[in-house]
Structure 1
Amino acid sequence: MNDKWRKFFHTMLTQNHFIVIILATLVIGIIFFLFMLTNVYTKTYDINRFSNAKETIRSPITIEDTKETERRRREAIQAIDDRYYISSEITEERIGYVEEIFDAIKTLKSQSNSTSEEEELTTVDYVQDLQQMLSPEIIAQIDQKTLSVLFDANENDRSISKELVTTTLHTIFNEGIRTEDVTDSLDRFNERLRFSSLSSKVKSALSDVASFAIVENSFFSVEQTNEAEKQAVNNVEPVTIRAGEVIVQEGQTITNEIYEQLKLVGLLNDDRNIYPVIGLFMLVLLIIGYILYDLTHLNKQIEVGIRSCLAFIIISLLMVAFMKFVSYYATETNPLYYLLPVPVGAMLIKLLFRERTAVTFAIVFSIIGSVIFNGQIPGALNIEAGLYFLMSQLGAILFIYNTKDRPAILKGSIGLIVINICAVSLFLFLSYEKYEWTNFLVFGGYGAASGLIASALTLGSLPFLESGLGILSDSKLLTLASPNHPLLRKILTEAPGTYHHSVMVANLSEAACEKIGANGLLARVASYYHDLGKTKYPHYFIENQMGIQNPHNFIEPKQSAAIIMAHPYDGAKMLKQYNMPKAFIDIAKQHHGTTLLKYFYYNAKETYKKVNEEEYRYPGPKPQTKEAAIIALCDPVEAAVRSMDEPSKEKIDQLIENIIYDRLTDGQLNESSLTFNELEMVKITISETLNGIYHSRIQYPDDKKLKEEA
């Protein structure tokens, strides 16, 4: 039972690439989550009130201290005095009464000057008349004695008195008189009166007038008071504990205020906040979704199997491990992330796979870097680090323009160094802080060293990933394409016809693969080795039968079929012995699929009554990839066209059409994921390539014929 389950899971993982990709992205997501966790889920402390802090503790977040803010607002409200409004109506009314007294006296004085001696009245009579003229409020509070003194005063004293009383009252009333201020206001008036040149009688009378006139004219204003309190509250800035701010120094006593602050920012064991972890989980989900989409798209172009996924996991692990290690030593004054060779990951992915996937991971590593270098402050992102990583990685991807040339990595390092130095300078110039030239030299040196280290690490680690995981990079394929390779020399020397056939198949396959977006270089190099098995019995294959009789004429059709059908598997065995890439081995096995050896099958049917068709079919498997399927089509097409006496475009096109139709109806392309649209493009490309090779040439007449015609 265990063996069955083991076999089931092995089949699922090796044949269903989508499941492998999902599992790989989940593993990558777990790696990212674990490495970023401490940057959002900070350390907590077991601290008691009034104990001494064992270490300096900083706030991990920026948060408002609402209790302290409220306390300051209460203090601001308490500091606001009650607001009063001054009634101008009362002011005008009371001063009007005073002016009324002096105007009435002036009127009576003018009347007294015009009367005859017989009609002359006493002061008492005039005061009585004066009382008849004045308002009841005045009569009710000012006695006759006061009015008599003012009436008897000379005109100059009355003028001075009126001016003195009205101006002083204006001043006092305009300042506002509350109930409790009436006595003080009268004292102020009397103090002003004391320094005047008037007689004591007049001063006393004026004091009585002021005592009558001075009343409350300033009243409590609820609206103004509320507005003042509201303004005071608005002027109080919220008390904020900033991320990174020191809450308590090492050895300092934990007061109630400090304890509440520690509790507020979630640094106590009982107050751990789970929300940052939820946020990190959501971020990782978005990242792995982005990676999953790209790898699924990549799988349509090249096979993304277990080995490829392992490469992505290893590269991702190394990149975040580098970041995490350096982050422990980086500070605001010493940004060591400038020295970090982050471009290694993007460069390796581009060299091993493709540029688009390298850009995807460059963006991902930049986002992760902005979290890891946040100073372990939850909710904060180091945008400068993230942008630096992004520019550095994109620069590396841009400058490695030729992935088939390993020295291009070293050449690209020069451009990478320039990009890094420019990025560092950009951040320094944009900063508000003043930097010295030594800072430019040091930080610029970090950027230059990062470029050199990244190139060196890429060159050093690339062979290990290629050989250890069996990943076929362009550079490795070019190495295997060298004619000096022992297996290619073996084909050339032992089966030269097969070698020429393989080169032609390679040309056709590469052109067709590149047309539909498949791996043309893989198809070319795999085609060189696909018929390696023919070297075991080279003369049994027609392309190697030069100047000899066909050995199949002397053996049974069944024996001939067995020899021919064995060559894919003989070749796969040889390739395996030489530790050649698995893709080559699979293509060698699959390039004939389960096709029927029609020539020997029909020969057998002419000789024997009962012939089992299965004995004349290749065991398979059928082509599993686009590259294998295209090679499986180009192989018979090239052999058939080469056997034509006078190949023309019409004949070649018809031959290609027949072979492709035969493979389709026989189900040989069912497992290759080739679409009908892609198959049509392949057919056109093969036709154009073959017609370019076998194009019609002008037949030049020989010298003998020219002489006869002359």
Structure 2
Amino acid sequence: MSVLFGLVLFGLIFSSLRQKDMDFREGSLASQTIRANKTIENKAETEEKRKLAESAIAPSYNYDEHIATEQLDKLTRLFDYVTKAKEEVDKAAMASANGKNKKAAPTLGDYVANLKGQFEKVDELDMPYFTSIPDSVLSKMFELSTSNLSNVKSQLNKVIADTMENHIHEDTLADYREKAKDSIDKSSLTDQENSLANSLIRLTLVPNEFMDEKKTEELKKTARQGVNPVMIYHGEVVVREGVQIDARAMNKLELLGMTNKDTSVFPYVALVLMIVLQLISLVWIVRDSDTQAKRFRVFHSYVFLMILSVLLMKGLSLFQTEANPFIPLLFPVALVPMILNMFVSRRASILAALFQVTFCLFVYYDLAGTSNLLLILSVLIFSGMMATLLSSQKLGRQRSKGILWLFIFPTIFVCVLVIYQGMQLSDTTTLGAIICTMIGSLISFVLAIGLHPYIDLWLNDDSMIVLNELSNPTQPLLKRLLEEAPGTYHHSMMVASLSANAVAAIGGRSLVTRVACYYHDIGKIKYSNFFVENLPPDADNPHDFLLPEDSKEIIFSHVTEGVKILEENHMPKMVIDICQQHHGTTLMQFFYRSALERNPDLKEEDFRYPGPKPQTREAAVVNIADTCEAGVRAMKQPTKESITEFVSNTIERRIKDGQLDESGITLGELKIVRESLINGLCSTFHSRIEYPKFKDEIEGKSK
């Protein structure tokens, strides 16, 4: 049966997961809104974004502030070397003249040669700077006077120092050299001095900031890693209805596998696993049930109602459109949990509330991944769980609580979700969600009230409709009891009234108790004249002519015969149980004592009713009320004191005899039952006024 149930559910939901046949062509218009059928990464777009992020990273540079000082030091030393070379060459020329060694005046070549000799003494690290200076630039330096050279040096030091305060790297070096040359051009230097300064700027002004390739690569790597994968989420709109399918959309459709006709197998696997999980949970709940009958009731009720629930969901899915996404909220989600809670078990109702919403995920698969589905599922699970919190009483008796929990609370809940999602309350879609929730809740409430008697009739053999029929005096068994055992009939009516009132006082099932009392002595119709209440006045008691053992069997038979008659007439189980238990295993004291006088070795168990003892509170009350009504009726002049004493003693004897041990009734409830029985018996067997007789009646009787 479990496998069949799972197959039926799978068959009902299967079509909702099947990919719709659509012709996707680039440039065509979408005939309907196309949503992603799964969640997948768009790797091409992800790589594109990562490259863009990588290219946006500026190279990382390391600034060396010492380079400016080093370059200025080199420049200063260059001018010092030039000055020194001029002095040494001039000094050598003068010495030669004084020695009358006639020699030509020093040439530029002499000066340059001397200067290069000094360059050979500089550090290896500085050597490249000095050796890179062309002879033409060195010659220009020697062509200038010492004062002019000093002026060039001063201007160059200032311009280069100011320029190298900036961060200069290879890409910007040319710009900064031009700026430095512009500064020199604006100075007071002569053309010759300006030419020299510009040449030296080109040689002295170098980069002071260098690219850190390792750090740059790390930054690019971090930038790539910081780009989140471009995802196509399940339920995401790829193309809206009426919009052209472009190359980008077509690429997404191909990634999703929607351009081919094959449907993803994962939703089907998920559905199968979900059905298996439900069956495991259901079997676990069924196994915890007390009896086989209850197991059968829990399982088959759940199966039938869950299939009906899925059918309703499927029906509503046919009317769902992009314009009306909240049609699923019309589903009366509280109905099935409420029925199971009232008639089966709360655990089964909670299970149904959870799995109804779970199957919504599959029935409304087209909405997967959307905020609309999140809102729908949240409202449905909230409404379903609200139904499980109601008591198992008839909904009509808790109408105000039902309206609050099933209608008002879900409406407030959907309004809260709407506000949370930032939807405008005046928007037609928002209003649609609220109205659909209200209608769905109202349908659940109305159906629960309207269908209650019929569901009761379907699930219970002691439904209100059945009990009302059985309580009708025209019922064949009651008519037969009235005709064949009128005293027993009247006794049954009295016990029914007493028991029903007492059971109602302790919160039990008063109607089924009343009906059970009508039939609890139905077995007496077989030997009606052997029961004292059916004997005419002044008639001989037939038990006076029987052995105690024979009388015992006749008295015992009214229980076993009653059960047999009730079973043949397909009476409710509780009516049969109360008939069987209304004497429990009490001792038939009168006949036992009579038999004991004849046979002292007699066993007490032989004169005890077969039982069983009362198994419910209702049966316990009937057990007490039956004895009390018969006992008080046998009193010649019952008073409130005598009735109170008799009822109290009866209850005390039942407790001492252990007759109430298995009924579940408490001492507090027995106290309430005692007061109810005393009041009922006192009002029935009250003392009556003895009216005075007229004189002519007295004279007539004397004659």
Deviation at 1:597, TM superposition (A): 5.5
Task: Give the counterpart letter for 2:75 in structure 1.
Answer: V
Residues 379 and 244 (structure 1 numbering): CA distance in 2 closer, same or farther, change over 3 Å? closer
Task: Give the counterpart letter for 1:320 in structure 2.
Answer: V
Mapped to 2, the partners of 1:530 and 1:501 lie a distance apart of: 7
Match of 1:479 among 461, 468, 489: 468
Is residue 331 of structure 2 the alignment partner of residue 340 of structure 1? yes
Higher mean C-alpha deviation, range 218-227 or range 603-612: 603-612
Is residue 103 of structure 2 the alignment partner of residue 147 of structure 1? no
Residues 356 and 72 (structure 1 numbering): CA distance in 2 closer, same or farther, change over 3 Å? closer
Residues 440 and 653 (structure 1 numbering): CA distance in 2 closer, same or farther, change over 3 Å? same
TM-score, normalised via structure 2 length: 0.69
Residues 652 and 395 (structure 1 numbering): CA distance in 2 closer, same or farther, change over 3 Å? same
Is residue 296 of structure 2 the alignment partner of residue 306 of structure 1? yes
Is residue 270 of structure 2 the alignment partner of residue 276 of structure 1? yes
Does the Cα contact within 8 Å between 2:501 and 2:676 map onto a contact in 1? Answer: no
Is residue 624 of structure 2 the alignment partner of residue 630 of structure 1? no
After superposition, give the CA deviation of every residue in 1:612-643 in whole Å (9 maximum; x if it has no partner). 9999786x673684357526743664357437
Higher mean C-alpha deviation, range 197-206 or range 687-696: 687-696
Higher mean C-alpha deviation, range 71-80 or range 341-350: 71-80
Mapped to 2, the partners of 1:381 and 1:446 lie a distance apart of: 13
Q: Hey, what does 2:36 align to over in structure 1? A: 59
Mapped to 1, the partners of 2:267 and 2:387 lie a distance apart of: 39
Is residue 444 of structure 2 the alignment partner of residue 454 of structure 1? yes
Q: Hey, what does 1:261 align to over in structure 2? A: 255
Q: Hey, what does 2:203 align to over in structure 1? A: 212
Matches within 5 A, 1:571-586: 571-572=562-563, 575=566, 580-586=571-577
Task: Give the counterpart letter for 2:339 in structure 1.
Answer: L
Task: Give the counterpart letter for 1:324 in structure 2.
Answer: K
Matches within 5 A, 1:499-510: 499-501=490-492, 503-504=494-495, 507-508=498-499
Q: Aligned pair count?
A: 653
Mapped to 2, the partners of 1:458 and 1:583 lie a distance apart of: 25
Is residue 82 of structure 2 the alignment partner of residue 93 of structure 1? no
Q: Hey, what does 1:174 align to over in structure 2? A: 167
Matches within 5 A, 1:15-26: none
After superposition, give the CA deviation of every residue in 1:571-595 in whole Å (9 maximum; x if it has no partner). 4566567654333234334545677
Matches within 5 A, 1:357-506: 361-362=352-353, 365-366=356-357, 368-369=359-360, 372-373=363-364, 375=366, 377=368, 382-392=373-383, 403=394, 418-419=408-409, 421-436=411-426, 442-473=432-463, 475-476=464-465, 479=468, 486=475, 495-496=486-487, 498-501=489-492, 503-504=494-495
Mapped to 1, the partners of 2:170 and 2:447 lie a distance apart of: 87
Residues 498 and 559 (structure 1 numbering): CA distance in 2 closer, same or farther, change over 3 Å? farther
Residues 140 and 311 (structure 1 numbering): CA distance in 2 closer, same or farther, change over 3 Å? closer
Residues 273 and 505 (structure 1 numbering): CA distance in 2 closer, same or farther, change over 3 Å? closer
Q: Hey, what does 2:282 align to over in structure 1? A: 288
Deviation at 1:241, TM superposition (A): 0.9
Task: Give the counterpart letter for 1:262 in structure 2.
Answer: L
**Matched residue SS, 2:319:** coil
Q: Hey, what does 1:527 align to over in structure 2? A: 517
Q: Hey, what does 2:531 align to over in structure 1? A: 541
Does the Cα contact within 8 Å between 1:323 and 1:340 map onto a contact in 2? Answer: yes
Q: Hey, what does 1:17 align to over in structure 2? A: none
Deviation at 1:94, TM superposition (A): 1.0
Residues 305 and 598 (structure 1 numbering): CA distance in 2 closer, same or farther, change over 3 Å? farther
Higher mean C-alpha deviation, range 482-491 or range 130-139: 130-139
Does the Cα contact within 8 Å between 1:359 and 1:397 map onto a contact in 2? Answer: yes
Residues 395 and 216 (structure 1 numbering): CA distance in 2 closer, same or farther, change over 3 Å? closer
Does the Cα contact within 8 Å between 1:28 and 1:313 map onto a contact in 2? Answer: yes
Deviation at 1:472, TM superposition (A): 3.4
Deviation at 1:93, TM superposition (A): 1.0
Deviation at 1:205, TM superposition (A): 2.0
Mapped to 1, the partners of 2:468 and 2:222 lie a distance apart of: 79
Does the Cα contact within 8 Å between 1:420 and 1:451 map onto a contact in 2? Answer: yes
Mapped to 2, the partners of 1:264 and 1:223 lie a distance apart of: 44
Task: Give the counterpart letter for 2:278 in structure 1.
Answer: V
Residues 367 and 554 (structure 1 numbering): CA distance in 2 closer, same or farther, change over 3 Å? same
- Can you give the 5+ residue segments of structure 2 that lack an aligned partner in the other structure? 87-93, 96-104, 636-640, 693-703
Is residue 307 of structure 2 the alignment partner of residue 317 of structure 1? yes
Residues 500 and 103 (structure 1 numbering): CA distance in 2 closer, same or farther, change over 3 Å? farther
**Matched residue SS, 1:174:** coil
Mapped to 1, the partners of 2:489 and 2:616 lie a distance apart of: 23
Mapped to 1, the partners of 2:540 and 2:8 lie a distance apart of: 62
Does the Cα contact within 8 Å between 2:337 and 2:388 map onto a contact in 1? Answer: yes
Deviation at 1:240, TM superposition (A): 0.7
CA RMSD of aligned residues (A): 6.0
Does the Cα contact within 8 Å between 2:585 and 2:608 map onto a contact in 1? Answer: yes
Residues 247 and 422 (structure 1 numbering): CA distance in 2 closer, same or farther, change over 3 Å? closer
Mapped to 2, the partners of 1:353 and 1:273 lie a distance apart of: 32
After superposition, give the CA deviation of every residue in 1:177-221 in whole Å (9 maximum; x if it has no partner). 37xx87887677667767777444323322442343244544341
Does the Cα contact within 8 Å between 1:83 and 1:222 map onto a contact in 2? Answer: yes
Mapped to 2, the partners of 1:401 and 1:579 lie a distance apart of: 26
Matches within 5 A, 1:156-171: 158=152, 161-162=155-156, 165-166=159-160, 169-170=163-164
Residues 271 and 689 (structure 1 numbering): CA distance in 2 closer, same or farther, change over 3 Å? closer
Mapped to 1, the partners of 2:461 and 2:5 lie a distance apart of: 19
Does the Cα contact within 8 Å between 1:653 and 1:687 map onto a contact in 2? Answer: yes
**Matched residue SS, 1:219:** strand
**Matched residue SS, 1:85:** strand
Higher mean C-alpha deviation, range 599-608 or range 652-661: 599-608
Percentage identity across aligned positions?
24
**Matched residue SS, 2:235:** coil
**Matched residue SS, 1:237:** coil
Mapped to 1, the partners of 2:648 and 2:200 lie a distance apart of: 129
Task: Give the counterpart letter for 2:294 in structure 1.
Answer: V
- Can you give the 5+ residue segments of structure 1 that lack an aligned partner in the other structure? 1-22, 110-116, 705-710
Does the Cα contact within 8 Å between 2:39 and 2:233 map onto a contact in 1? Answer: yes
Deviation at 1:468, TM superposition (A): 3.7
Mapped to 1, the partners of 2:24 and 2:376 lie a distance apart of: 38
Task: Give the counterpart letter for 2:50 in structure 1.
Answer: R
Does the Cα contact within 8 Å between 2:530 and 2:543 map onto a contact in 1? Answer: no
Residues 566 and 653 (structure 1 numbering): CA distance in 2 closer, same or farther, change over 3 Å? same
Residues 393 and 264 (structure 1 numbering): CA distance in 2 closer, same or farther, change over 3 Å? closer
Q: Hey, what does 1:707 align to over in structure 2? A: none
Residues 541 and 699 (structure 1 numbering): CA distance in 2 closer, same or farther, change over 3 Å? closer
Which structure's CA Rg is the greater one? 2
**Matched residue SS, 1:232:** helix
